[in-house]
Structure 1
Amino acid sequence: MTDQEDFVRAIGEFCRREVDRKPGVPHDDELYRKLADLGWLGLSLPEEYGGGGRGMADLVLFLEETAYWRAPIGGFATTIIAAAAYEKFGSAEQKQRILPAVANGSVLSISMSEPEAGSDVGALSCRAERDGDTWVLNGQKTWCSNAHFAEHILLVARTTPGEGKHAGMTMFSVPATAGGLAIRGIDTMGGKEVNDLYLTDCVVPADAVVGTVDQGWKQLMTGLNLERMILAAVMLGTARRAFDDTLAYVRERHQFGRPIGTFQALRHRLADHATELECTRLLVHDVARKIDENPEKSLPREASMAKLKATEFAKAMALDGMQMLGGYGYATEYGMEGLLRSAVVSTVYGGTSEIQRDIIGKTYGL
């Protein structure tokens, strides 16, 4: 058995022991701390900051397996995305303060979207103005995942207006408890997992800048492979869960004197989904391997393909799962409706499916 097989088995054993598979809170801090004690939250962080120093392939395995078991660690994805920015662009002090805390269970959030800047991030207008040894932030952010229980928010603001759509942006490390910052949950199908942020003369010190002033857009672009692969891995695990739960149900549910899965209409649908699941798994893991082999190379086509395929398949699988479970598909006891909610929104956040298709098309010169 390989190290990766041992790793996946250990995750599965932990989740079978610790995770209640019925739908619950998106993020359970007690369970999150247990994962930190095992060293898994710092899996992809450098060893010098208390991390495991492991690559994308191992991170994808962890995300896939925890999603499959529906582990309530909703804060992990945004934490790893933000932590990667601190690791790549942060000052020595920021890295030393933030990264070991992440490995020990601290949650981070990242905030880009605004009411008039969603897919078009370059249209953001939240502004930051220099005032002596501080920056003063004003504006509104929206759809900010996990800000309500994060310790720091990696926030992108406009520092130099009028220099072009993608110029003049800067990353800031903003404590979630900063004065002048109001965090208000947005009611969605999944509860209050995302937030509006209101910044009113929110003051942060000069050393809150992450990276270089006015270079926020370029810095954001370097993290897109990671974000897309995180979402692809989570949705691969979600799709596996939806498939297995559907398969178990159609084997056990009897109508007209036989298991409903033996009827050709359902048997063929499951066969198609099984084939799509295998294609998705191979694509996601292959792209992860390529990223590890070429850590300095941007792979926008492959990462977008993985995100597009995994999220769209997870949505299709969960939707068909609800249909095959009949009325039970809508019952929270069975969990399929929760899988569908997670899958549907995954085709929107992190770059919509339409944006992923546009990126893929552009890599072919279209």
Structure 2
Amino acid sequence: MSAVMTEERRAFVNAVREFSARECGTREQRNALTEGGTSTHSPAIAAKLADLGWLGLTIPEEYGGSGGGLFDACLFVEEMSYGRLPIPSYPVTLIVANSYRKFAPEAIKHEVLGGVARGAVESIAMSEPGSGSDVASLTCRAERVDGGYRINGQKTWCSNAHHADHILLVARTSSEGAKHQGITMFSIPAGTPGLKMNQIDTMGGREVNDLYFTDCFVPEDRLVGAEGQGWAQLIAGLNIERVIIGALYLGIARRAFDDTLAYIKEREQFGKPIGKFQALAHRIADLATEITATELLVHDVARRVDENPEQLLPREASMAKLKASELSKQVSLEGMQMMGGYGYATEYDMESLVRASLVSTIVGGTSEVQRDIIAKTYGL
């Protein structure tokens, strides 16, 4: 645990850990909560967490939350990830809620942020078939009409949109000027006419979606922030996004490490536990060191954001996301190797941790994009 941990925060982390172990500590429990593992999100678990007040950690008190900071959110995300809580939509919901908190009109804040505190899911639609890492090249169009906007276009890779109460849409309202200009955000309620959604099958299950907008009308009062300022609004949320993702994959890395360690202490070959062999013992030592360093990095960036929420930390936030995502992949793959065939079998959780971690270096900006950002902060 990092130096900014207080006794109150330690007690909170322990409470989340105990809840996770009690409610979904086994694969059988998680399968029962997710329709045999075919769904990724459990409304029942989300409702219990909301009743405990944990889903409103970073929601201001006037909207039904407890007004905590990014560090508190990271602790929760890290522990829910470690404990395999079936609410993978929550990190994205947190990221989206930050944009609503900063830029949405009061009516939408009460609607959306209050819902988050009560367990609602939120989603964001940025990527398109032709604009992934180059988000600013998006072409989904929002045209001004009487009383609002008419939207046409496609979005893809929209996480948990099929569970969401609203979609935070990033669309183009003008083609004049540079590609970063003329981008605008809208809050679109689920079920709005003209919005069609198809789930995408992935190795991690049905977590992401294609969205199709066909003459989809959005009233003017669903505008989030100022027209044409969507890119600046996205940039303002990058600290939150990348640090939250860092916490998410730090939790997976820790879980893969602990599961591996437990296995190699028990599994015997050649007359002794396989963890006693230097080849595995040294791997464990290296992974433990990397996890501790990554934890310190993620926690430190979260603390710095809390101290100065308006300060952009492109270098540090990208470092946290890069390091934690790369580490989660490394630890889970190393864990599978050390566990041998059992690491590949569904009898153990390691194979699911591998599947969960493989996408870590793609979502929220690829590792290559993060390295580009870090390099640019050094004048390269």
Task: Give the TM-score, by structure 2 length.
Answer: 0.95
SS in 2 for 1:274: helix
Q: In structure 2, what residue type is equivalent to 1:11?
A: V
Q: List structure 1 runs of 4+ shifted beyond 4 angstroms.
A: none
Matches within 5 A, 1:54-133: 54-133=68-147
Separation of aligned partners in 2, 1:48 and 1:222? 22
Quick check: 1:21–1:70 contact (8 Å CA) kept in 2?
no
Q: Paired residue for 1:21?
A: 26
Matches within 5 A, 1:23-38: 24=37, 25-38=39-52
Q: In structure 2, what residue type is equivalent to 1:4?
A: R
Q: For structure 1, which segment, 236-245 or 333-342, has the greater mean C-alpha deviation from structure 2 after superposition?
A: 333-342
Separation of aligned partners in 1, 2:40 and 2:244? 17
Q: In structure 1, what residue type is equivalent to 2:241?
A: E
Matching of residue 177 in structure 1 with residue 182 in structure 2: no
Q: Paired residue for 2:53?
A: 39
Quick check: 1:21–1:69 contact (8 Å CA) kept in 2?
no
Q: Deviations over 1:85-111 (max 9, x none)?
A: 111000011111111111001110011
**9, 13, 20: which one pairs with 1:8?**
13
Quick check: 1:239–1:317 contact (8 Å CA) kept in 2?
yes
Separation of aligned partners in 1, 2:120 and 2:285? 42
Following superposition, the deviation at residue 208 of structure 1 comes to 1.1
Q: In structure 1, what residue type is equivalent to 2:336?
A: M
Q: Deviations over 1:290-317 (max 9, x none)?
A: 1111122111111111000000011000
**340, 357, 364: which one pairs with 2:371?**
357
Q: Paired residue for 2:33?
A: none
Following superposition, the deviation at residue 163 of structure 1 comes to 2.2
Separation of aligned partners in 2, 1:136 and 1:21? 47
Following superposition, the deviation at residue 77 of structure 1 comes to 1.2
**313, 330, 337: which one pairs with 1:299?**
313
**139, 142, 162: which one pairs with 2:156?**
142
Following superposition, the deviation at residue 21 of structure 1 comes to 3.3
Q: Deviations over 1:212-270 (max 9, x none)?
A: 00110000000111010111001111000000000001111111111111111111111
Quick check: 1:330–1:337 contact (8 Å CA) kept in 2?
yes
Matching of residue 321 in structure 1 with residue 347 in structure 2: no
Q: In structure 1, what residue type is equivalent to 2:17?
A: G
**279, 286, 291: which one pairs with 1:265?**
279
Separation of aligned partners in 1, 2:313 and 2:62? 27
Q: Deviations over 1:168-205 (max 9, x none)?
A: 00001111211111110111101111000011111111
Following superposition, the deviation at residue 20 of structure 1 comes to 3.7
Matching of residue 216 in structure 1 with residue 216 in structure 2: no
**345, 355, 359: which one pairs with 2:359?**
345
Following superposition, the deviation at residue 26 of structure 1 comes to 2.0
Quick check: 1:45–1:53 contact (8 Å CA) kept in 2?
yes
Q: For structure 1, which segment, 118-127 or 18-27, has the greater mean C-alpha deviation from structure 2 after superposition?
A: 18-27
Separation of aligned partners in 2, 1:182 and 1:328? 41
Separation of aligned partners in 2, 1:39 and 1:308? 30
Q: Deviations over 1:153-178 (max 9, x none)?
A: 00100100132110000001111211
Quick check: 2:152–2:214 contact (8 Å CA) kept in 1?
yes
5+ residue gaps in structure 2? 1-5, 31-36
Quick check: 2:40–2:206 contact (8 Å CA) kept in 1?
no
SS in 1 for 2:340: helix
**174, 177, 180: which one pairs with 1:160?**
174
Q: Paired residue for 1:188?
A: 202
Q: In structure 1, what residue type is equivalent to 2:116?
A: V
Root mean square deviation of aligned Cα: 1.0
SS in 1 for 2:216: strand
Q: In structure 2, what residue type is equivalent to 1:273?
A: L
Separation of aligned partners in 2, 1:150 and 1:160? 27
Q: In structure 2, what residue type is equivalent to 1:219?
A: Q
SS in 2 for 1:243: helix
Q: In structure 1, what residue type is equivalent to 2:333?
A: L
Q: In structure 1, what residue type is equivalent to 2:205?
A: G
5+ residue gaps in structure 1? none
Q: In structure 2, what residue type is equivalent to 1:181?
A: L
Q: Percent same amino acid at aligned positions?
A: 61
SS in 2 for 1:140: strand
Quick check: 1:119–1:352 contact (8 Å CA) kept in 2?
yes
SS in 1 for 2:167: strand
Q: Tell me the number of residue pairs that the alignment of Structure 1 and Structure 2 aligns.
A: 366
Q: Deviations over 1:48-96 (max 9, x none)?
A: 1111111111111101111101001111111111111111000011111
Q: In structure 2, what residue type is equivalent to 1:155?
A: L
SS in 2 for 1:109: strand
Task: Give the TM-score, by structure 1 length.
Answer: 0.98
Separation of aligned partners in 1, 2:25 and 2:7? 28
